[in-house]
Amino acid sequence: MTTPDKLLSRRSVLKGSAAGALGIAAVGGLAACSSDSDGASGGAAVTGPIAFGARTVDEQPTLQLRALVDAYSAKTGNEVTYNATESNAFQNNLSQYLQGTPDDTFQWMAGYRMQFFAEQGLLVDLSDVWAEIGDQYDESYKIASTGLDGKQYFVPQSWYPWGMHFRKSMFADLGLDADSVTTWDEFLSMLDGMKSKGLIGFAAGDKGGWEAMGTFDIINARTNGYQFHVDLLAGREEWTDDRVLQVFKNWEQLLPYMNTNVLDLEWDGATQLLLQKKAGTVLMGSWFAGDFKAQSDEDYFDLSIIPFPEINPEHGRDTIDAPIDGFCVAANGGNNAGGIDLIKFAGDMEGVQAMLDTGVPMTSANRGQDTSTYDAFQKEQLAVMAEAQYITQFLDRDTRPDFAGPVVGPAIQSWFRNPNDVNKILESLQAQWEALPPLS
Amino acid sequence: MSTTATNNKQVSRRRAFSKRDKITLGFFVGIPTALHLALVWIPAIATIGLSFTYWTGIQYSNIRWAGLGNYKNIFFSTPAFYDALQNNVIWLLWFFLIASPLGVLLAYQIDRQIRGHKFYQSAYYMPVVLSLAVTGIIWNFMLRPDGFINGLLGRDIDNAVSFFGNYDINIYVIMVIASWRHIGYIMLLYLAGLKAIDSSLREAAAIDGATEWETFRKIIFPTMKPVNIIIVVITMIESLRAFDIVYIIYGTSAGLPILGILVFQNIAGEGASMKGAAYAVILFVLSIGPIIAYLAQQFKEDVK
């Protein structure tokens, strides 16, 4: 996984006393309320009310989270208020939210995005929680939950792999065997076959600006390997490198098999094409399966996943984007002790079970979730994961946030618009990386 | 307000205020001033200051002096800035040349009490009561790939008419949406002005044999000067501060870069940097510059 400490050393940190010398410090009154975080007073019984902040308003995950919160209330008698925010809005406001009066426990992501806020002192150290429930998790999850200071600030909820999703019934109708599609050539000829039958081979949407980052991640990892991908995102390799150009050349080979309105559709448009059987495959994180389940069990159980095909034999299919979602406790929350108690419950098998009992599909990070109870689709996800040696989070979780969203997203969109501009786009990407301010 | 007494009267006036008056006045003047300072001027000045720094917006101790770093970044390394500038200019031109004149025309027609003018008036005015965000939501429902229009055309999402994803036309799609509201707004402003015009002016013009167009150009339009000034300023502000509709439809993705979106994209969220503040300052200068120049010139003419 990307280690942001390397990012930090990318540039010499601006020294100098200029820091507060602007007189802007006088604006203090404008800043979000100062924090009077009442630390968890040891030993005292945890009492409510506790506020829980959900990063979703979608139906399926909401069912799951409400079940978790209700199970906690039922067990402890502590009142929990459930506050939901649409995920984009939640992300955009997170800095302000955490500096203001945040919910005690909130839903967030592992890796760089958690470490960034932990560094700023906005998250509560959860090392004690990990001491109690840590044995329920594999080491890799603990690493993903650990801040730059070596303490844990995150409790994982679930993970999902990014892979080629398809419908078993469609493959059967087309006479295709998914497991035999392992190389790039086999993949392209499969797409060709779909195209000749009037199908979209490789459904994609990138209106949101982030969706296609997953495609870039995987083609880069397949073409140039895990190490190059990680180094590129950390700024140790350059975007003008011929190897990056090759990624876009490979990607370009997929364009004829894509829907023509990539920039019109968001992720749910692309998965909708699969649901409607207009597209043969879609590269996406498996989380969207919940939508298929909401549609019907039949659609859900028709869903399957295989790893993205091999491009360069040197790297095989050794890397996968598998982001981890979970929870943090906000330092400025009104009830830190309550937040910690709730997050411990969420990470403990008991809480995980409450979420699983809703029947909403989830591949938990908790070792206690019996994989023999996985449904067929979840087992396939596990198999896809098992094949990978290297796990990345996702482009916008693996590189600087002021680069991913404002720079890479638009660059990929302009590439979709005009693939011939690739050299210009890559030069601009590199120039914009170099123009980024030093990390303080 | 009564505090603007002229110098020679100041002494006597001041004596006329009782203690209670002073307290009352103090409240009336003081509270709005304090609020104005706290909510407008201090943030504005802070934004200008912060635009010369590197900062993620979280801890004061992390603020680093950047000099012109953010501005250099924007002007020399960020192609999106020029795309956005271009779109804002198109927006401005469209509003000036198409939307605002249409609003004036509609107002004039309705003022002439053409048949069904009450119906037209309410129809055109209705979008104005909706916030820009709601306008964006409505049109998003209409035009997106699985939206109303594509449904009507019997198109599925894989072959839907591309209103938002075709970057060659999407600015004009957005212009139609924005005009839908802007025209009604201008119409209403102009209509209010027209109602106040003395009808004898028109009658005199008619007696002198002026055509409709001559009457409008030589009589009505000059008489409407105060309203015209307001419309010019509003049109300029509306086109430069544009944000809501685009944000509702595209989020912060680069679907349609405009300055308002760039400000937000670079100041909100985890990617926050003071590049966003620099964008805000650029937007501020672009908005305030022409407006001050225009108003100054107008008032100078008035003094003459």
Write out pLDDT tens, residues A115-142: 888 988 899 999 999 999 999 998 888 8
Cβ burial A180-216 (10 Å sphere, 16+ → b, else e): ebeebeebbebbeebeeeebbbbbbbbbbbbbbbbbb
User: Does residue A414 belong to the interface with chain B, where contact is any CB pair within 8 Å?
Assistant: yes
Among candidates A99, A264, A413 on the partner chain, residue whose Cβ is nearest the Cβ of B254:
A413
Domains of chain A (ranges; CATH) run: 49-160+323-368 (3.40.190.10), 162-321+393-434 (3.40.190.10)
Query: Most B CBs within 10 Å: which of A260, A263, A430, as the mutation test of the B interface?
Result: A263
If you average pLDDT over residues B2-16, what whole number do you get? 51
Give the per-residue pLDDT at B14.
54
What is residue A16's predicted lDDT score, i.e. its pLDDT? 28
Nearest CA in chain A to B163: A264
Nearest CA in chain A to B270: A401
The predicted-structure confidence for A142-196, as pLDDT tens digits, reads as follows: 888 998 899 999 999 999 999 999 999 999 999 999 999 999 999 999 999 999 9
Residue A440 — very low, low, confident or very high, per pLDDT cuts 50/70/90?
A: low
pLDDT at B57: 80
Q: pLDDT at position B4, please?
A: 46
Is B258 in a helix, a strand, or coil?
Answer: coil
CB contact under 8 A, A95 and B61: no
Test mutation, A402, A413, A429, A432, chain B, max B CBs within 10 A: A402
Partner-chain residue, chosen from A92, A208, A278, that has the shortest CB–CB distance to B158: A278
Which of B65, B160, B265 comes nearest A16 by C-beta? B65
Q: What does the block give as tokens for B284?
A: 């501020």
The pLDDT, as a whole number, for residue A43 is 43
What ipTM is given for this predicted complex?
0.83
Q: What is d(CA A293, CA A303) in angstroms, rounded to the nearest whole number? A: 10
- A397 pLDDT band, cuts 50/70/90, is confident
Determine contact: A272 vs chain B, CB below 8 A.
yes
**What is the rounded distance in angstroms from the CA atom of residue B135 to the CA atom of residue B132?**
5
Q: Shortest CB distance from A437 goes to which of B69, B79, B264?
A: B69
Show residues of chain B in contact with A95, CB under 8 Å. 56-58, 268-270, 272
Average pLDDT over residues B272-287: 91
Task: Please give the DSSP secondary-structure letter assigned to residue A91.
Answer: H
- The answer, for A25 touching chain B at a CB cutoff of 8 Å, is yes
Residue B2: what pLDDT?
Answer: 43
pLDDT of res. A34: 35
* Mean of the per-residue pLDDT values of chain A: 86
What's A256's DSSP letter?
Answer: G
Mean pLDDT of A354-370: 87
Q: Does A95 touch chain B (CB under 8 A)?
A: yes
- The beta-carbon neighbor of A264 closest among B59, B156, B160 is B160
Burial state string for A41-58 with b = 16 or more CB within 10 A and e = fewer than 16 = eeeeebebebbbbbbbeb
Nearest residue in B to A94, CA atom: B269
Q: Which residue in chain B is spatially nearest to A405 when comparing CA positions?
A: B271
> With contacts defined as CB-CB under 8 Å, which chain B residues touch A409?
253-254
Q: How far is B297 from chain A (nearest CA, A)?
A: 35
CB contact at 8 A, A280 and A256: no
Q: Where in chain B is the domain with CATH 1.10.3720.10?
A: 69-303
- Residue B290 in this model has a pLDDT that exceeds 90: no
Q: Do B253 and A404 count as a contact with CB atoms less than 8 A apart?
A: no
Q: Tell whether the model's pLDDT for residue A36 goes beyond 50.
A: no
Residue B176, pLDDT > 60, answer yes
Q: If pLDDT is split at 50, 70 and 90, which confidence band does B19 have? A: confident
Q: Can you give the pLDDT at residue A50?
A: 94
Contacts of A417 in chain B (CB under 8 A): 167
What's the confidence (pLDDT) of residue A245?
97
CATH 1.10.3720.10 is right for the domain spanning B69-303: yes
Measured between CA atoms, how close is A373 to chain B, in angstroms?
36
Tens-place pLDDT, residues B132-171: 889 999 999 999 999 999 999 999 888 889 899 888 899 9
Whether A197 has its CB under 8 Å from any CB of chain B: the answer is no
On chain B, the residues whose CB falls within 8 A of the CB of A113 are 270
CA distance A180 to A310: 12
A residues 31-90 lying closer than 8 A (beta carbon) to B: 31, 88
Cα separations in angstroms, B88 against A406, B77, B174, B246, B248: 19, 19, 12, 12, 17
